[in-house]
Structure 1
Amino acid sequence: MPLRGGLEWLRARDPGLRAVRRSARVTLVACTGFYVARYGLGNHVAAIYALFGAIASGGMSFVPGTPRERARTLLAVLPAAAALVTLGTVLGVHSWTAALGMLGVGFLVSFAGVGAPRLGGLAGGLQALYILACFPPYAPATLGARLAGLATGMVLMAAAEMWLVPAPPPGRYADRLARAAAVASRTLRALAAESRSPPFDSRERLITASQELRMSRVPDDERPTSASARHRALCQGATYMRHLLAQTWQLAQEARDTPGTRDPAAARLLQASATACHGVALGLSGRGPAPSDAPYTAGAADFEAHRIRLPIWRANSAAVVRGGAIALDIAHTGTFLVTAVRIALGAPVPADTTPPAERPGPFWYAGRPTLSLYARRLQTHLTPRSVYFQNAVRIALALSAARLIVGALDLGHGLWALLATITVMGTSATGTRTALWPAFGGTLAGAAVVAVMLYFVADHVAVYAVVLPPLYLLAFSAGPVLGMGWNQAFSTIAAAAAFAQLGPAQPGLAAVRFTDVVIGGVTGALVGLLAWPQGGTGELRRACSRLLDQSTRSVTEIIDTIAGDGTAGDAPARARLAQLIAEASYAQYATERGDPDPAHPADKDWMAILLAGNRVITMGQNLLDHCPPGVLAAWPLSAAHLRDAAHRLRLTALPLMYDLRSRKPCRAPVEPPAPDVPTEHAVIADVCAASDGRAPDPMSYYAVDAAIWLASLQRLVTAISPSTEGRTAAQG
């Protein structure tokens, strides 16, 4: 029974035993290569590089993907690893040349992961290989043995990823999107049945499906964060899906409150939307072909032609008009969703018809090769405003400074100083402080054990050989299960046991190791605290604040344009630029491992902010394309309601923008006046009254569409405002 309880405890801390499996693979490969080279071939150099080759590519790296994909990645990066070992061997002749090389390697290896999560996950391991090679002894004649040991460790590690207790393949973000599409399809199909309301739990399922698409709810190895068109399309498709779910939630709420008010044409449109969502679910799950937007486009055209001919005279006409407008919004959103899903599945999509003045279009990346998109992301982040750039510079400066200090002090085991620097470097000051004290405490505890071990075991090599595998097994699994301090303690003991088999064990090794870690840790901490301590969240906050600012300004100017009081000017263009910057910031934020959102529910729903910006751009441009300037002046009451709603949206966003910039809620937030009647209801009532029992002017329906648009934006921004921090409204 104690054994069962221990397994349950371990599974609770390590779901699927992923860390234990990974630890077993790395330990077996590292020790096998080390023992074969050390005792079978008698080559100490090859032994240490076989050991570090496995540790760098398995223990110090995080490569997302399936076992086969991880194996391919390790084999593909082997030439780069060999180049780094060669460079470190050559530049190790002097401390200053090794430090200059460390500066370049530290930056390039870190920055290269900007659009490739697998390469970014290998950054620490690749840097460790250069670090190992650039330390004394300076022995270029041993380069062949170094490369042979490295190749042995990495090739065995690649084979182990596939065949040795392989980890279960990670979940797919596409499956989350498919499940959300299936939920939307079922609910829309129920809503299309005029005689009954959707199932009782439909609204709860819609909320759950929307929340599961948030990146903060997605495991690290499942997030679509690369620069490829597929990953971009999945992220964009999730944004459209969340809006589709939110509007479906609105219809489900209305069906509960006012059943039996569905227009037959709107019901047919909802049925077409349900069919298209079902196709999305089948395509993403691999059970069907790529979806088609034909149901959406045909249903939307039929509905628009129908609603402008429909006389308005019944008592429930307002509910019919509102439900139809929301159904049309769902269909338009679904068209964008299908295009994104087709890109993700590699299916052809129509050519971009976005006018040059309105580019880049929403799917500018479609059809572009991955290498081109990766180069574009590299270019985009080659700026001090990019956290990728900031972090690469910080790591390069810290490692280079640590290498100079180690050389100046002539530390015999200075390798551990630079490894400690890598350990404590985070993307923010908080991350650095969090890593620093466990690193020191764990190393101190491990050093104490090493001192005792070296005193009692002395030069009995067989004892070190026996304890090495269990020590590394504990070292690689202790971090995820128990914390960094335990990882540092067991790593310190394991490293001492490994090096004790290559030469005489010195009694003072424990103190030397602790001194090295203190030097490396302090150097990394100082550089980490002084250089750009905000991390990915800080840049994302600024970008999202800018997006909300430009988007709400654009909404106001668009409404003024169609209401006859102004002109949009370059407002949509500014909003599009802010959207691109925010999307790039969100992509880099999503690559940071261990997002705190589940444990800290007060963190913002970043995807909802991107959704708001996306809705401003797509729907706002649609209104400008179809509504001549001043067209709504013929309905002054509706125009006034729309202007008030746009102003209220701006006021709602102001405290959120302040909160994002300052990291603290606004002390005196602007409270926008709540309308006596919701905007969409007031505008619809005006349209119904103006029709006087006749079919209304077709242009008046654009006032209805604009009201539905503003209402959805108001709900979305209200859900993530400081006053509601810590929750996301059901419809958002």
Structure 2
Amino acid sequence: MSWLRALKATARSGLTVERRRLEPLVAARAALGLALVVGATLALFGPGAAISSAFGAFQAAIATFQRSWRPRPTLALASGASLAVSTFLGYVTGAGTHPGPFLALLAVWTFLSGLAWAAGPTIGIIASSNVAMMLVTVTLPTSVAAAAGHAAMIAVGGVVQAALVVLLPVRRWGAQRDALADALAAEADYARRLRQDPVAPFDPVPLMTARSAAAVTPRQARSRPAELHGARGLAERIRPVLASLADPAVGAPAEGPQRDRVRELLAAAASVLDAAAHAIRHGEPVDLPPGAVAALRTPDTVAILDGPPRRAAVRLAALLDDVVETAEPRTETRTPTPTETRTQTPTAAGAQTRTQTASQSQSQPKSRARPTLLRLAPVVAARMRAELRPDSPVFRHAVRVTAVTTAGYVLGSALPLGHGYWAPMASVMVMRPDFSQTYSRSVARFGGTLVGVALATAVVEVADPGVYASASLAVACAFGMYLLMRTGYAVSQVCVAAYVVFLLGMGGSAWTQTVYERVVLTLLGGVLAMLAYAVYPAWETPRLRGRLADWLVTDGRYAASVVAHYANPAGHVCADVREALLDTRAARIAWQEALDRATHEPVRHRGLSRAAADDAGHALAQFGRVAMLMEAHLPERGAPPVPAAATLAEALRRSTERGGKAVRERRVPEWDELRETVANSGPLMTDPLLRKGAGLLLDALDDLSESLAPPTDRA
């Protein structure tokens, strides 16, 4: 993509307004906290302290809106406290009187905030926002004692927002409920698509999000609703069962009575999963559709299906029972589950599967531990240290944002405009580790600032508000920002720009002193940010082969772990298989995100065209799908082992590791050893599913090699 096309695409992205579900009660609570803090400090201490406390409460509320599974009060307290410390240290280093020491502190603080992205976007956003707010708040105090007072007011703003989250809860555990419900709803949608397309793809992101949401701190674990326990693990195990039931390669034939029965079971499973998702999302009892219950309880299943499809159908019914039981709020009476109302003819295999599935489900861990903030600190520090290398995108982002912020501060101070901090503040708020976000946010911030300042100026000219009216208008703008934050960065910046104009007007700054300065300096900060990325980039395009190699290696380890359990049967709950599956999911998502970012970069493909990348991704997705189908039919504990599977597992692991190295070195991977192993071990594989799966795995790897071959060498 050329630079011109890339700039057009990022500009459109930055100015796009999305339709999102609004949360007016949460926004009103955040605005109430801001109003309480500003009103109290304005009445007791005057406009200067009110502005400081307003920034603290404003930033603390923004922290509670971040996509984090930590308790919202904790985020508000951490944000308020860190901004208070930053403000106090910024003032005592000589902001305004000794610019040298303050510039050094600003550089260190900004560099650390850039490295904080290594710990995730939530910490990175809070750290960057603290640097931006510090640039404003250090200009308010007039002495060290006053600086301490302003820092205390900022911290109080965080405390008030945290207290309101506790005292006025809005849909407590709502984010976790939504994450788990979205995972179950994604499974339901998958089941419906499998009815029409037996090899339909599945996006694992909802399951990964639900897994992140399931990790709780010790305090959260004491109050988590019972229905949020366990259902995620069940959803994880349902997905391969659905795929194996639908896929003609290992499940029912493509046409005939068995396929018709499979379609009925998939439709019933989708209805049950949707009912469980609705119950979890709203905290209500599960209302099972009678038609789905009837479809699951018919005795025709074991009469029509045989072999692997029958085992998959019985296992699916057992897992759905457990999902419904887990999703049901804990009351004295509950809705009967499908198996409890089912009258199908029992079989020895079905009874054994039901018993083993229930036993495995009860043995699953009910919660994942999330460290407290104090215990998280050394983890974050270790991640930041690990990024201190020249080829790290996070390190390059930290260097860029530090250089731009310090240069913007120097230029803004040198220009005869006043309020020079607006240039570095704009830069630090728009800069992100990747190209597309930095450029789109730069355009959105300038456009939003222009509109917001113009609207606020018109209001000031017409109404000429006083101190309290300006405070009220600032709170109203903050409410608009909280409400519309997730609809687009440009929209939120309209509200933020007006908020700052009214807030500074409350402190005595005339509107004529803010309009021209803020627009020009915001433009300067955005231009510096965009130039910095062009001069010192961290392009994703050259790293695509490395991402693809990582996915190949993790896919190979996952398939090898699955195949190895045919040689040493251990049942359907295997820690090594689960760990390998999580690794390959993470690698797949990293590949997809990198491919999306590379699409918008003004960089040539450098050895991996978009067509080759798409074909390679499809081949590895098929490889992972075959391994998942084999996982769905792992032999039960105590089943006869297949010794040849151990040889195949080792060949898979070695071949994919060598293949990953070849991909990184821009060579076409070869699979001669694996091909020879499959040919020699095929007759010794007594399990027909294992024998067929080995051939399908090899076919997927051949497709990968073909996608990476030069165009002249392709078949």
Which band: TM-score by shorter chain? 0.5 to 0.7
Distance 1:546-1:419 versus aligned 2 partners, 3 A rule: same
Q: Structure 1 residue 257: deviation in Å?
A: 4.1
The structure 2 residue matched to 1:30, chosen from 25, 34, 37, is 34
> Match of 2:685, as an amino acid?
S
Q: 1:548-570, CA deviations, whole angstroms, 9 ceiling, x for partnerless residues?
A: 268569989x99xx9xxxxxxxx
Secondary structure of the corresponding residue to residue 686 of structure 2:
helix
2:275 matched to which residue of 1? none
Q: Structure 1: which amino acid aligns with 2:195?
A: R
State the shift of 1:705 in Å.
0.9
8 Å Cα contact 2:215-2:369 kept in structure 1: no
Question: Which of the residues 685, 703, 707 maps onto 2:692?
Answer: 707
Show the counterpart of 1:398.
404
State the alpha-carbon separation in 2 of the partners of residues 508 and 30 from structure 1: 25
CA deviations 1:14-36 (Å, max 9, x no partner) are 55422x44443333322332232
Residue in structure 1 matched with residue 422 of structure 2 by the alignment: 416
- Matches of 1:236 and 1:111, distance apart in 2: 34
Show the counterpart of 1:472.
Answer: 478
Distance in 1 (alpha carbons) for counterparts of 2:118 and 2:234? 22
Range that drifts further, 90-99 or 250-259: 250-259
Give the letter aligned to residue 248 of structure 1: L
Alignment: residue pair count: 581
Q: How does 1:374-523 map to 2 (within 5 A)?
A: 379=382, 382-383=386-387, 384=389, 387-409=393-415, 412-452=418-458, 460-461=466-467, 463-481=469-487, 483-505=488-510, 507-523=512-528
Distance 1:274 1:683 in 2: 38
Aligned with 1:246 (options 233, 243, 248): 243
Counterpart pick for 1:83 among 59, 82, 85: 85
Q: Where does residue 567 of structure 1 map in the other structure? A: none
Q: CA deviation at 1:107?
A: 3.7
Asked whether the 8 Å contact 1:61–1:123 carries over to 2, the reply is no
Give CA-to-partner distance per residue, 1:136-179, whole Å, 9 cap, x none: 66632212321332133212222333455836712343445556
Shift of the 512–630 alpha-carbon distance from structure 1 to 2, 3 Å rule, reads: closer
C-alpha contact 2:118 2:383 (8 A) present in aligned 1 = no
Q: Which residue of 2 aligns with 1:166?
A: 170
Q: After TM superposition, list the pairs within 5 Å mapping 1:184-583 onto structure 2.
A: 203=195, 211=202, 213-215=204-206, 224=213, 242-250=239-247, 253-254=252-253, 256-257=255-256, 259=258, 262-263=305-306, 267=310, 271=314, 274-275=317-318, 278-279=321-322, 282-283=325-326, 342-343=364-365, 345-346=366-367, 379=382, 382-383=386-387, 384=389, 387-409=393-415, 412-452=418-458, 460-461=466-467, 463-481=469-487, 483-505=488-510, 507-534=512-539, 542-548=546-552
SS state at 1:122 partner: helix
Q: How far 1:56 sits from its partner (Å)? A: 0.8
Asked whether the 8 Å contact 2:183–2:210 carries over to 1, the reply is no
C-alpha deviations, 1:55-106, integer Å up to 9, x for none? 111236633468x921233235544333223222223433333233233323
- 1:47, CA displacement in angstroms? 0.4
C-alpha contact (below 8 Å) 2:484/2:492 kept by paired residues: yes
| Mapped partners of 2:375, 2:155: distance in 1 | 30
**Closer/same/farther in 2, CA of residues 111 and 584 from structure 1, 3 Å limit:** farther
Please report the TM-score for the alignment, with normalisation by the length of structure 2.
Answer: 0.61
Partner of 1:321: none
Contact preservation (8 Å) 1:61, 1:122: no
Seen in structure 2, the aligned counterparts of structure 1 residues 72 and 608 have a Cα distance that, compared at 3 Å, is farther
SS in structure 2 of the partner of residue 254 of structure 1: coil
Does the C-alpha gap of structure 1 residues 490 and 127 become closer, same or farther in structure 2, counting only changes over 3 Å? Answer: same
Q: Which amino acid aligns with 1:214?
A: V
Shift of 1:439: 1.9
What is the distance in 2 between the residues matched to 1:287 and 1:719? Answer: 49
Q: How does 1:9-24 map to 2 (within 5 A)?
A: 15-18=20-23, 20-24=24-28
Paired with 1:162 and 1:514, the residues of 2 have a C-alpha distance of: 38
Q: Equivalent residue of 1:427, what SS?
A: coil
Alignment partner, residue 54 of structure 1: 57
Quote the Cα distance in structure 2 between the aligned partners of 1:83 and 1:461. 28
| Matching residue of 2:265 | none
Give, in whole Å, the separation in 2 of the partners of 1:509 and 1:630. Answer: 72
- Deviations, residues 488-523 of structure 1 (Å, cap 9, x unaligned): 333223322221121251634211111221222222
1:97 corresponds to = 101
The reply to whether residue 44 of structure 1 matches residue 67 of structure 2 is: no
Distance change >3 Å, CA 95–CA 205, structure 1 → 2: farther
Q: Structure 1 207/238 Cα, relative in aligned 2: closer, same or farther at 3 Å?
A: farther
Cα separation, 2, equivalents of 1:587 and 1:234:
23
Q: Write the distance in 2 (CA, Å) between the matches of 1:596 and 1:25.
A: 39
Do the aligned residues in 2 keep the contact of 1:181 with 1:280 (CA within 8 Å)? no
Q: Counterparts of 1:460 and 1:75 in 2: how far apart (Å)?
A: 31
For residues 225 and 587 of structure 1, what CA distance do their matches in structure 2 show? 19
Deviation at 1:433, TM superposition (A): 1.8
* CA distance 1:102–1:555, shift in 2 (3 Å): same
**Structure-1 separation of matches of 2:539 and 2:696:** 34
Cα distance in 1 for residues equivalent to 2:426 and 2:18: 25
Flag the 1:431–1:509 CA change in 2: closer, same or farther, 3 A.
Answer: same
Of residues 368-377 and 702-711 in structure 1, the stretch that sits farther from structure 2 once superposed is 368-377
**Residue 432 of structure 1: CA displacement?**
1.7
RMSD of the TM alignment (CA)? 6.3
Partner amino acid, structure 2, of 1:130: M
Which one of the candidate residues 143, 151, 166 is aligned to 1:139? 143
Counterparts of 1:479 and 1:661, CA distance in 2:
43
Q: Note if 1:152 corresponds to 2:156.
A: yes
Distance across 1 between alignment mates of 2:100 and 2:461 = 36
Contact preservation (8 Å) 2:470, 2:503: yes
Q: CA deviation at 1:180?
A: 7.1
For the Cα contact (< 8 Å) 1:202–1:252, is it kept in 2?
no
With over 3 angstroms needed to count, the CA separation of the structure-2 counterparts of 1:710 and 1:412, relative to structure 1, is: farther
SS of 2:419's equivalent in the other structure is coil
C-alpha distance in 1, partners of 2:143/2:458? 33
- TM-score, structure 1 normalization: 0.60
Amino acid at match of 2:89: L
Once the 2 structures are TM-superposed, how far is the Cα of residue 49 of structure 1 from its aligned partner?
A: 1.5
> Structure 2 unaligned runs (5+)?
1-16, 222-227, 259-302, 332-346, 567-576, 600-612, 672-676, 709-715
**Alpha-carbon separation, structure 1, partners of 2:646 and 2:324:** 40
Deviation at 1:245, TM superposition (A): 3.0
> What is the alpha-carbon distance in structure 2 between the residues aligned to residue 336 and residue 379 of structure 1?
39
What is the letter of the counterpart of residue 56 of structure 2? G
Helix, strand or coil at the partner of 1:123:
helix
Percent identity between the two aligned chains: 20
Over 3 Å counting, the alpha-carbon distance change for 1:498 and 1:276 in structure 2 is: closer
